[in-house]
């Protein structure tokens, strides 16, 4: 079981940094003491304080409290036809990469490389898959660490958003659609965590997938390093408007769904 990428203190920190709120200003706006805020941020989940700071940070109260109490983890979906999820080590963390394929023709696409692509290459060989595309969600080091090795091994071109180009990749404009046998892959810009972050919505198979990189996680989202407001807007308007049963494949942490994140993600759940 892959742990959640973020705990409730991470969520508070990301929102606080995104809104450029110091501890003293956040405490003042929430009408709590700096000492009370410090305790919460150090891992003491005090309900009364969390309820006060949540609206100031633009976070859903119940979702934040549930996360703080360890009450949220997305449903385990077991084996999903046409999808392999790889979780590999990169320095002091783990990172996800994915292999999606048409189960009838075995034509496949890779999404990011993770910190080590050995397991992915083994799966390609064992299942007799033919990789047609390599897609990058963004170009942070943990997501592209094995790009050279992967390209050499599978002989497929690598595609990257034109807003975030790196050597050895082919540029494309977000909105471009790709065909993978019976599967359709639609790209759309979900920047905010990075300048050219892209998500890929895959339909035509037994399940709908969206490969999102670090745009959104189960119970959290990637930090708005490039633009916090754009990150929030893109997640709300482009990812969470997809059908509820769409499986979200994030860059870190476990798989989730659009429906689950609309209810349980503190950044987006306000009921």
Distance CA 113, CA 221 (A): 20
Beta strands 247-250; 83-90: pairing state: unpaired
Contact 106, 84 (CB under 8 A): no
Find the radius of gyration of the CA atoms of the chain: 19
Angle between helices 34-41 and 47-56 (to 10 degrees): 100
The domains of the chain, with CATH numbers, are 8-68 (1.10.260.40), 83-264 (3.60.15.10)
- pTM to 2 decimals? 0.97
Distance CA 206, CA 183 (A): 10
Q: Count CB neighbours of 243 within 10 A.
A: 12
Note the pLDDT of residue 270: 83
pLDDT tens track, the chain, 271 positions? 899 999 999 999 999 999 999 999 999 999 999 999 999 999 999 999 999 999 999 999 999 999 999 999 999 989 999 999 999 999 999 999 999 999 999 999 999 999 999 999 999 999 999 999 999 999 999 999 999 999 999 999 999 999 999 999 999 999 999 999 999 999 999 999 999 999 999 999 999 999 999 999 999 999 999 999 999 999 999 999 999 999 999 999 999 999 999 999 999 998 6
Query: How many alpha carbons lie under 13 Å from residue 203 in its C-beta half-sphere?
Result: 8
Note the pLDDT of residue 28: 98
DSSP symbol at 163:
G
Question: SS3 for 36-74, per residue?
Answer: HHHHHHCCCCCHHHHHHHHHHCCCCHHHHHHHHCCCCCC
């Amino acid at each position: 079981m892959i742990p959640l990428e973020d705990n409730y203190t991470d969520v508070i920190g990301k929102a606080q940094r995104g809104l450029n709120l110091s501890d003293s200003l956040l405490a003042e706006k929430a009408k709590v003491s700096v000492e009370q805020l410090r305790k919460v941020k150090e891992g003491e989940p005090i309900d009364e304080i969390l309820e006060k700071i949540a609206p100031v940070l633009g976070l859903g109260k119940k979702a934040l409290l549930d996360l703080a109490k360890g009450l949220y983890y997305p449903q385990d979906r077991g084996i999903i036809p046409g999808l392999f999820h790889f979780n590999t080590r990169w320095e002091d963390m783990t990172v996800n990469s994915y292999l999606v394929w048409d189960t009838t023709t075995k034509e496949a696409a890779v999404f990011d490389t993770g910190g080590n692509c050995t397991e992915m290459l083994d799966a390609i060989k064992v299942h007799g898959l033919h990789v047609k595309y390599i897609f990058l969600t963004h170009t942070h080091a943990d997501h592209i660490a094995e790009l050279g090795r992967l390209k050499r091994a599978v002989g497929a071109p690598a595609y990257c958003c034109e807003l975030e180009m790196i050597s050895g990749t082919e540029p494309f404009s977000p909105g471009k659609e790709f065909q993978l046998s019976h599967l359709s892959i639609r790209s759309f810009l979900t920047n905010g965590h990075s300048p050219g972050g892209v998500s890929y919505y895959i339909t035509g198979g037994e399940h709908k997938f969206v490969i999102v990189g670090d745009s959104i996680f189960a119970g959290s989202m990637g930090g708005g390093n490039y633009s916090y407001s754009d990150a929030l807007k893109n997640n709300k308007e482009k990812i969470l408007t997809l059908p509820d049963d769409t499986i979200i494949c994030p860059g870190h942490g476990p798989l989730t769904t659009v429906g689950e994140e609309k209810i349980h993600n503190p950044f987006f759940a306000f009921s």
